[in-house]
Amino acid sequence: MKILHTSDWHVGKVLKGQSRAEEHKQVLAQVIEIARVERPDLVIVAGDLYDTAAPTPEATRLVTRALTALRRTGADVVAIGGNHDNGAALDALRPWAEAAGITLRGSVRENPAEHVIDGTTRDGERWQVAALPFLSQRYAVRAVEMYELTPAEANQTYADHLGRVLARLAEGFTEPDRVHLVTAHLTVVGASTGGGERDAHTVLGYAVPATVFPGNAHYVALGHLHRSQRVIGPCPVRYSGSPLAVDFGEQENIGSVTIVEVTATTAAQIREVPVPGAVPLRTVRGTLAQLAEIDVPEGWLRVYVREQPRAGLREEVQELLPRALEIRIDPELVPGPGSGTRTAQRAGRSPRELFADYLGSRGHADDDVRELFDELLEEVEH
């Protein structure tokens, strides 16, 4: 059978005030075209269909149309909720999804059988997917209890709970003539973040070892980390990555989908297919004079300005580089702890003097800012 694995669409993403809607339309159109060319038997969307738990009608329309178009290529489609998605809202779409022939699992249900999906390819290859949406730490404990596993103990970790839930879902991975698959939305220890993930759900107690996956799975299709990569584990484990760079921290990532070819008796053959439809994200550095002379790269820009902070600096950079979405003082110019002038002594000092000392300690030497402070102070005092 052939599988198209994708994840982390983040439809509805707004980058520093800039809508990515048109980029998402182009990117998802390319994913659909890849599906038409490759003719996969199964498409797996491993979570984070949306960028927010409250997507706009436009974002909802784009996601549902993309899933429908993928189904119309002749593939079965299985999609799960991620940590950015509203699992209950996705589950509310299940009647529509089922009518369209799409399997949608937004959150963990009381009956584990609902998360085990069976199918057969056009050529008669039988397959089974254990589909686990994103689980918060609190709901991981609830899932263990719902599935009537041994009671959760106080010293057990998030990884312990996920391992037990996945083992329960994979109990049927025993038939030798069936392709066994897992899809989940989580962080695996040792994998590399893409740069734009939500930190609270990638670090600390949310990272799990690859040993939580069943060794007899033919392929594990993961979402959550935005960089396409293989993960060392007891079976083939892979993140497809996001098909577009979600934030500037991901500007080096290459958007792609993963194509997997596997049978019940042969190992998975894996390859990436690039998806170049998004506008590139670039970072440029320099003084105003240097920025005025650069050959401006194509794409949305993050600009690190090598100038001392002053009023109007952002506007000057924006005039030079209209596609700059993020403008910051170069971190190398920001004074560190202990640098700058002596600490202002508050006793006996006027607010103007204290503010002037503060500006000096932060590297600000701008008369306009001091004058504005004086005006505001005068309004407050009078």
- Nearest CA to 258 out of 34, 28, 25 is that of 34
What is the pLDDT confidence band of residue 340, given thresholds at 50, 70 and 90? very low
Tens of pLDDT, residue by residue over 72-104, are 999 999 999 999 999 999 999 999 999 999 999
- The pTM for the full model equals 0.83
pLDDT value of residue 138: 78
pLDDT value of residue 200: 47
Tens of pLDDT, residue by residue over 31-75, are 999 999 999 999 999 999 999 999 999 999 999 999 999 999 999
Q: Give the pLDDT mean for 266-292.
A: 93
Tens of pLDDT, residue by residue over 16-28, are 999 999 999 999 9
Question: CA–CA separation, 186 vs 225, rounded Å?
Answer: 8
DSSP assignment of 229-242 = EEE-SSS-EEE---
8 A C-beta contact, residue 34 and residue 86 = no
Helix axes 57-72, 21-38, angle to 10 degrees: 10
